[in-house]
Amino acid sequence: MSIREVRPGVWDVQVYQPKRTDGVRPRVSRRVFGGRRAAEQVERDFKTFNDLHSQGGWSGRKPRLDDYALDEWLADKTDIEPQTRKNYRGALERYIIPALGKLKVADVSVRDVRRLNRTMNAAGLSGSTRRYAFRILSMVMHQAVIDRLIDVSPCEAVKPPRESRAEPQALTADEVRELLRLLAGGPVGMAALVAYDTGIRRGELLALAWADVNLTTGTAQVKHAVEQIGPDVRLKEPKSARSRRAVKLSEPVVAALKTHRAQLNAERLKYQGRIVTDGETSWPMWVDADLVFPSLQYQDAAHPMGRIWTPYAFSKAWRKAIGQANKARLAEHLEAGGEAADFEPWDFGIHRLRHTYATHCLRAGLRDEVVSRALGHSSSSVTRAYYSHVIDGEQAETAAVTGAVIAGAKTSSS
């Protein structure tokens, strides 16, 4: 076995499998994105499966790809997040199984994989979607190699689709001020203020508890995130170790949070003592979960005020607030003499403020490592890759700095 770092954050893990009946020891490799610990975990997985399947393994079985992918590969992934499982299943059921599902795992060829890539491309899928589906298929076939269903994954001979990641869009400083002005006092106004001030994710924002906010030092501890899959809502650990972090609050936001907390306490005192009765059953209208941004909508016994504000409900409230803001912007635009045809309405979610935070910080000269830690990225290489357009733009200005110095110097040619 061997682990080799190809470039920062990218590793190659190689392992020789048990000898086949012809005496050949197949070599299997896997590219891992992340830290060295992630690569070492893959190496351990290789060893575990080698030990297991040297004792018999899948001998004699020839499953179809659809059965193997869903009932074996996906079912065995017990350590992944529910959302990740949902995404894996979605890629399998939408793209991979319709094209290759009826084939035996052992019969999937390089030509079949290339045909899948062509089919997805012809369907107009984005490069990111095609690359994601290819990655899922690669993981399934890689597991089939470990399970000794095949000797070599056909995906290894196929070039992955190129990822066409769009540059994250950011608001200008004037647009941020306009947005915060129009949302102020509304259901999502305070959330928008904190989102721009800290760059935290929507789920982290909705999980933020007052116990984790220190208004004296102006800091907030990000310890959890709210995740929703269908009707199921839960608090989960952050995405990575670095996602569990402290974020700094600016002085204006600290002052705004103090006012927000006083207003929440007034709402809590107004409704906390109220009891709803239905026959012999009764329940409180308010349940105190100590959240900075709780739901203030009462529905029923299972959905009292003060509970977690679900991501779906928050997004619905956000869209409504943006719609109202667009009406106000259009009225101001027309009043200023503008034409309705020239008006550009806003159409973005709260995540746009995370991109805006990162972009503004990088353009202000903050080191990418500082911004990466504030964002909770797994490494600064993720930040550099995602916001390369911002960093490259700043690097282009270095020529102006050095050029100004050189222009004022006396050189031998002058």
Domain chopping of the chain, boundaries: 2-157, 167-414
- CA–CA separation, 190 vs 13, rounded Å? 46
Q: pLDDT digits over 26-78, tens only?
A: 666 777 777 788 878 777 776 665 554 554 455 556 899 999 999 889 988 88
Query: How much is the mean pLDDT over the chain?
Result: 86
Residue 171 confidence class, pLDDT cut points 50, 70, 90: very high
- φ and ψ of 280, to 5 deg: -95, 0
Class of domain 167-414 as given by CATH: mainly alpha
Look at residues 74, 132, 64 and name the one whose alpha carbon lies nearest to residue 97: 64
Q: Does the pLDDT of residue 97 top 50, yes or no?
A: yes
Which residues are bridge partners to 14 per DSSP?
A: 2, 29
Name the pLDDT band for 106 (thresholds 50, 70, 90). Answer: very high
Give, as one character, the DSSP assignment of residue 93.
Answer: I
List of residues 6+ apart from 108 with CB closer than 8 A:
65, 100, 141, 150, 154
pLDDT in tens, 305-345: 999 999 999 999 999 999 999 999 999 999 999 999 999 99
Domain 2-157: give its CATH superfamily.
Tyrosine recombinase, N-terminal domain (1.10.150.130)
| 2-7: strand order across its sheet | 2-7, 10-16, 27-33
Looking at residue 79, its pLDDT comes to 81
Q: What's the start-to-end Cα distance of the chain, in Å?
A: 61
Cα separation, 14 vs 29, whole angstroms: 4
pTM: 0.69
Nearest to 95 by CA among 62, 63, 69, 64: 69
**Residue where the block lists tokens 């504030």:** 374
Strand partners, 348: none
Output the pLDDT for position 55: 46
